Amino acid sequence: MKDELIMEKIPKVSVVILNWNRRDILLECIRSVKAVDHPLHSIVVVDNHSSDGSAEAVSREYPDVTLVVNEKNYGAPEGRNFGVQRALDLGAEYIYTLDNDLVTAPDSISGFLRVFREDPQAGVAGAKIYDYVERDLILSAGSKLDFTQNIVRQYGRGARDRGQYDRVREVDWVGTGAMMTKREVFEEVGLFDTQFIGYGYEDVDFGVRVGQSGYKTVFCPYARVWHRPHSGVGVYSFKKKYLEARNAVRFMKKHAAWHQWIKYLFFAGVGLPYSLVREGLRGNIDGVRGKAKGLWDGLRGRDELSVKLLSGAD
């Protein structure tokens, strides 16, 4: 009876991992989750219709993992929603969304929970994200809105970790790839907006909505993850830049004031010729074309190409 009461007091944390065609790194991600120092309520893996045997490998090697196999690639927002909803249905009090191309430190969940204990107003917390190869190279220490060409920027990106980002602080948003959220935030704010087709800016949108609801989004230096950049769609592909640019415009339409539009369009207009020169020299003309067309289609409210790209069509 005493043990049952103790277990009832332990926060019920579920980890939700989104995957598409990255079997081996997915299995490494799950191994890191299995090694955390906090007992997990559940691990939910959402497979977005992979063709590389990812779902079969998870079933074989981790039969205790809750596996959601989608009949098509729904993209990041909708695919992640399937996992979050399953975790909520299973009774999770905290949901740790994790991308398949990250590995998490053993004390990451304990670090997140420490932040929530210390600040009851915190509803969402994001991890300190490092490069997978250069282990002390920071990729993100929280993020802010600045409404320049990419709308957002990452604190600490490209810096070596010397303890300069070891303080908890409120930020505008954190990436869903390494984020813990209280159950009541999803219940009050809702899940991720699936109109951000494919991926890109659904997490920024979620951060804005969380702030509007009265909860805080905070950067948590006690939770650490290591990320393989560009292991998904590609570094500067047509598909990647198109979806990002189209979704950026959707975010602006949803949240930006007129003066923020002026700033964004100015930087986007200057940025396209700069990208043409810089990325053209690197052989990434297709990525520049994708960025320009995504911007144009976003302004016109066109979704057709986003849906085709997500389904795998060229």
Number of Cβ atoms within 10 Å of the Cβ of 172: 17
Residue with tokens 């219709």, as numbered in its chain: 49
Instruction: Please report, to the nearest 10 degrees, the dihedral formed by the alpha carbons of residues 150, 287, 49, 195 taken in order.
Output: 40
Q: Could you tell me which of 162, 128, 121 has the C-alpha nearest to residue 143?
A: 128
Q: Tell me the pLDDT of the chain averaged across its residues.
A: 93
What letter does residue 137 receive in the DSSP assignment?
B
Predicted confidence at residue 231, as pLDDT, reads: 56
User: What domains lie within the chain, and their CATH numbers?
Assistant: 2-227 (3.90.550.60), 238-311 (no CATH)
- β-bridge mates for residue 229, sequence order: none
Q: Which residues of 84-117 are buried (b: 16+ CB within 10 A; e: fewer)?
A: bbbbbeeebbbbbbbbbbbbbbeebbebbbbbbe
Q: What is the pLDDT of residues 250-292, one digit of tens each?
A: 999 999 999 999 999 999 988 888 888 888 788 889 999 999 9
Q: What's at 80, amino acid-wise?
A: R
pLDDT of residue 96 exceeding 70, the answer is yes
Predicted confidence at residue 221, as pLDDT, reads: 97
Q: Which two tokens stand for residue 211?
A: 């702030």
Structural element, H or E, at residue 178:
strand 178-182
Q: What's at 2, amino acid-wise?
A: K
Predicted confidence at residue 311, as pLDDT, reads: 81
What letter does residue 120 receive in the DSSP assignment?
T
Q: What is the pLDDT of residues 207-226, one digit of tens each?
A: 999 999 999 999 999 999 99
Mean pLDDT of 145-163: 95
Q: Which two tokens stand for residue 270?
A: 């200057």
pLDDT of residue 47 exceeding 70, the answer is yes
Q: Using an 8 Å Cβ cutoff, are 249 and 295 in contact?
A: yes
Q: What is the pLDDT of residues 1-32, one digit of tens each?
A: 444 434 458 999 999 999 999 999 999 999 99
